Structure 1
Amino acid sequence: MRRILISLVALLAIAALCSYALWTAHRPTGHYLSDLRIQVALDEGVPADRGNLLGIEPELFPGDYQSLTRLHRKLAAYFEQARTKGLLNAKTIVVLPEHVGTWLWASGEKDELYRATQREEAMHWLALSNPVQFLTALLGAKGDDRLEDARLRMKARHMAEDYQQLFGGLAKEFGVTLVAGTIVLPEPRLDNGTLRVGGGALYNSSVVFGSDGTPLGQPQRQLYPGKNERRYIHASGEPILQVVDTPAGRLGVLIGSDSWHPANYRQLNTQAAQLIAVPAFVSGKGLWSRPWRGYTSRTAPAQSRLKPGEVSEGEAWHRLTLTGQPPASTAIAGMSVFMRGQFWDQANEGQSFGSRHGLTSSGNDGPGARLINLWL
């Protein structure tokens, strides 16, 4: 009798494990309606043969990342509308926001993850749906927040492949230079033109793609991750900024609050950077109009006189991003681009703005996705 009970329990356990394995493998893609409209919020200057900086401020939600096809459809619709409005040409540099590639970790997941209302609930579904990958990533996690590290690390190789396929493909499809926002990956590098990952620390990085879809230079790593992000994202080991040649001029990329540090502009000046792209990200409902919380790096620049609480978050971005303040930056133009939308209970805010010949403009604010254009 005892042997029969043991056998029965074993069979039930095997059946449960098989059912769980089948459940984790089943990834249906349901119907999803997404707003593909985008408005021109700023169009400064006169079209000429020098090209333009075009910021695409997308409005994105978890469901947009359910498949690469779905995300491409939405982003390509924005590009197509920009082309229809005459804002794309062979010398256009398109700038996307910070972390637009990071959310690729949510691709190919179960419906429960996209229907979650709280971020932590979504993270639980992620772990439950990928038990082996998650536990393996957790064993190799770095930093203080090992759970967040594991969530980003577990699909890193696929994320890198999807990032290059999607954004390199968009650059080639529309014949533009594309600053593909950022993506968080472990030790990202370009190896013979292919984006690869390593097994070390996570870095928030951006890749620039040429109009033929190939990457220009190496991934630019963020120098000064935010206070919360430093728990799992590492700062670039060396404060090295690169400048790449584009049809519109020499381009440098400053990720997020890296654009608040005058030393970074001095470094770009020495490399004759003419254009500066700033993929940026502000998370928190109403945060843009709340008092500025101060520098996200461990120490503020010695020459900074701006104190926490003196201005709003939005005003601080305008005052500290120095592309509109010669001689701090000798670039002729720059653009800071933010993401809109909401990921579970996390609202994304920020109003994109550009600087041209020392004058800064942010355009009109409004709902939905926006285009920010500066003719050079």
Structure 2
Amino acid sequence: MKKIFKAILLILIVVVGIYWVWASTDKGTSLQPTLRVDVVESYGDSTEKGNILGIQAFMTSVDYASEDNFKQKIEFYLIEATKSQLLIPEKTVVVFPEYIGTFLVAANEKASLYEAKTLEEGLQTMVLNNIGKFAKTLVSAPDTVKDKVKYAVFAMKATEMAKIYQKTFSELAAKYAITIVAGSILLPNPSVENGNLTINEGLLYNTSMVFDSKGKLNPNLIKKAFPTADELSFVCPAKPEEIPVFDTSIGRMGVLVCADAWFSDSYKVLKQKSVDFIVTPSYSNGTGNWHKKWTGYSGADTPADAKASIGKLTLGEAWVKHAMGSRAKNEAGVSKGLNVFLQGNIWDLGADGSTIILDDSAKATPYIGKAALINLWL
């Protein structure tokens, strides 16, 4: 019996050793981010009042392989904006798309993850590589979470994600002396303590953050109030009345995370707080949906005033007519704004949508699938 026990123990030690070697080697990738801007376009006339610059970033899995890759990709867009004279120190607000930080969940993983063809394949690799942390986080997932697997994947990487996200956007905001609305990132119950982004126990929130021109993270976090149907199984909705506003060098700013721009409750808050302009970081997954007939909002009831457009307008037309493009002016008295969508080839998720400019009237640009700098002078 002792010999059998020793044999089993030896086998376990060998298996664990092999796994440890596999899990701790071949991390990251030698592949570098693709750096390109396809379109640079400005609306309005250049003035001393400043500007809102939308970064319609085109991202791939390689951009998230490491902190260096991520920062290189994000800074590239700011370098190009400088060349195009679209950055005015302390008078520019730069807006990145929703989920720009969320895919940092893939940071510092095995090289095969960045070459995976599908998200499911990539997640399997990530789980196997972090099986201990994954299991611990899965077991401790809140009871109210429906999709505990997705919750566990993001929660187990949250501390690392938050560190890279804050360091990148803080350093770049200070370096270029600009205000940055840093798209959004998925984190468990985040807060800001003593200027540092802090991860806490609890539910995941799709959260946007603002960094001032000195690189300081504003303690008021913008948590998405109306998650989509795809998000609701593992993302917690915030309360619309808790949407904050921000005093910037170009005026009082409201930030609505993607679908929050569809609902009147969001604009009631912004009107009460007297904002001068609104920015909306967005991500629409899939490919080709922008030009297909709109099937209605997912995740909550379609707003009553938009139901007549179901099946008649395209998704893109519906965004212009029923989201920030019209509601900002009609419901909050705001005539300036920018709605920026993420682009890219991030595994098989797809990315759709194009930047929407609100300059008294609303217009969607035609630049789907392109890396673009879309600027609005105030």
Extract unaligned runs of 5+ from structure 1.
none
2:229 equivalent in structure 1? 227
Q: How many residues align?
A: 374
Determine which of 250, 253, 264 is the counterpart of 1:251: 253
Give RMSD over aligned pairs. Answer: 1.7
In the TM superposition, what whole-angstrom CA distance separates every residue of 1:139-178 from its partner, at most 9, and x where no partner exists? Answer: 1223111111111111112211211111111211211100
Task: Specify the alignment match of 2:180 in structure 1.
Answer: 178
One-letter identity of the residue aligned with 1:11: L
Provide Cα deviations, 1:268-290, integer angstroms capped at 9, x if missing partner. Answer: 01111011110001001111111
Q: Residue 88 of structure 1 aligns to a residue in which SS?
A: coil
Q: Deviations over 1:181-239 (max 9, x none)?
A: 00111111111211111111111110010011112241111010001210000100453
Instruction: Find 2:150's aligned residue among 148, 151, 169.
Output: 148
CA contact (8 A) 2:97 2:283 kept: yes
Question: CA shift at 1:324, angstroms?
Answer: 4.5
* SS of structure 2 residue aligned to 1:155: helix
> 1:214 — aligned with what?
216
Counterpart-to-counterpart distance in 2, 1:322 and 1:340? 19
Q: Pick the structure with more helix per residue.
A: 2
Contact 1:42 1:362 in 2 (8 A): no
Structure 1 residue 48 and structure 2 residue 50: aligned?
no
Aligned partner of 2:346: which letter?
A: F
Classify the secondary structure of the residue corresponding to 1:374: strand
Q: What is the rounded CA distance, in whole Å, between the counterparts of 2:193 and 2:306 in structure 1?
A: 39
Match of 1:13, SS state, is helix
Alignment of 1:316-355 (within 5 A): 316-324=318-326, 326-355=329-358
Aligned to 2:11: 12
The 3-state SS of whatever aligns with 1:181 is coil
> 2: CA distance between counterparts of 1:297 and 1:196?
28
Output the CA distance in 2 between the equivalents of 1:20 and 1:65. Answer: 24
TM-score in terms of structure 1 length = 0.95
TM superposition score normalised by structure 2: 0.94
**How far did residue 100 of structure 1 move?**
0.5
Q: Is the contact between residue 323 and residue 329 of structure 1 (CA under 8 Å) also seen in structure 2?
A: no
1:293-304 aligned at under 5 Å gives the runs 293-304=295-306
2:63 is the alignment partner of 1:61? no
Return the alpha-carbon distance in structure 2 between the equivalents of residues 293 and 136 of structure 1: 39
For residues 4 and 299 of structure 2, the distance between their equivalents in structure 1, rounded to whole angstroms, comes to: 61
Contact 1:179 1:209 (8 Å CA) reproduced = yes
Measured at CA, do residues 255 and 293 of structure 1 come closer, stay the same or move farther in structure 2, by a change above 3 Å?
same
Contact preservation (8 Å) 1:98, 1:181: yes
Report the 3-state secondary structure (helix = DSSP H, G, I; strand = E; otherwise coil) of the residue aligned with 1:37. Answer: coil
- The offset of 1:64, in angstroms, is 0.8
Q: Which runs of 5+ in 2 are unaligned?
A: none
Amino acid at match of 2:292: R
Alignment partner of 1:373: what SS?
strand
